[in-house]
Amino acid sequence: MRPTVVLIGPMGSGKTTVGRVLAQAWNVTARDTDHDVEASQGRSISDIFVESGEEHFRRLERDAVRRALAEHGGVLALGGGAVLDEETRALLAGHQVVFLRVGLSDAVKRVGLATSRPLLLGNIRSRVKALLDERTPIYEAVATFSVDTDGRNPDEVADEIRRHI
């Protein structure tokens, strides 16, 4: 089985879309931990944050990463904050981990003003900036390599990843 290729990076870096493009090109399946968490809980991520809190969400996310890595050999897109959790980071050791870089303007454009993402409510631009500043060093430390996504469409990003893997 081909090893799992894990995509990490901020909200708006295109993890889910690039994951689908790569999976199609490699003829493997694409998975997405946000989707897995929502499906296993039968409620949206926003509802999980509001009703149970971020810490609880991170535990569910960690379980989803563990399950996906154990069951799966395709492309796995993580939620933007998954690598904040130390145990989740440890699960990624030995896998091919790609950091999709994105700058502030493109990230804000892609998440859109109508986002339902709970961590962006309020002033979207300043929230995105704070998350990028805080998390970029973590993405860099965890990734095997990184790819720039600014001004590029998912096919171009996927092509660059395929040249590396």
Instruction: Confirm if 77 and 33 have CB atoms less than 8 A apart.
Output: yes
Q: Is 127 in the site for ligand S3P (CB under 6 A)?
A: no
Candidate ranges 22-30, 89-97, 114-122, 137-145; the one touching ligand S3P (CB under 6 A): 114-122
Q: Is 157 in the site for ligand S3P (CB under 6 A)?
A: no
Which region holds residue 72: left if phi is over 0, alpha if psi is between -120 and 50, else beta?
beta
Distance of CA 16 to the CA centre of its chain: 7
Q: Is 104 in the site for ligand S3P (CB under 6 A)?
A: no
Q: Is 91 in the site for ligand S3P (CB under 6 A)?
A: no
Instruction: Confirm if 33 and 68 have CB atoms less than 8 A apart.
Output: yes
Q: Is 62 in the site for ligand S3P (CB under 6 A)?
A: no
Q: Is 103 in the site for ligand S3P (CB under 6 A)?
A: no
Which region holds residue 11: left if phi is over 0, alpha if psi is between -120 and 50, else beta?
beta
CA dist 129 and 113 (Å) reads 15
Q: Pattern of binders to ligand S3P over 5-34, x per CB under 6 A?
A: ------x---x------------------x
| Cβ closest to ligand S3P, residue 27 vs residue 85 | 85
Candidate ranges 97-105, 111-119, 143-151, 156-164; the one touching ligand S3P (CB under 6 A): 111-119
| Cβ closest to ligand S3P, residue 149 vs residue 163 | 149
- Give the 3-state DSSP-derived string for 117-136, with helices as H, strands as E and coil as C: CHHHCCCHHHHHHHHHHHHH
Interface with ligand S3P (CB under 6 A): 11, 15, 34, 45, 79-81, 117-119
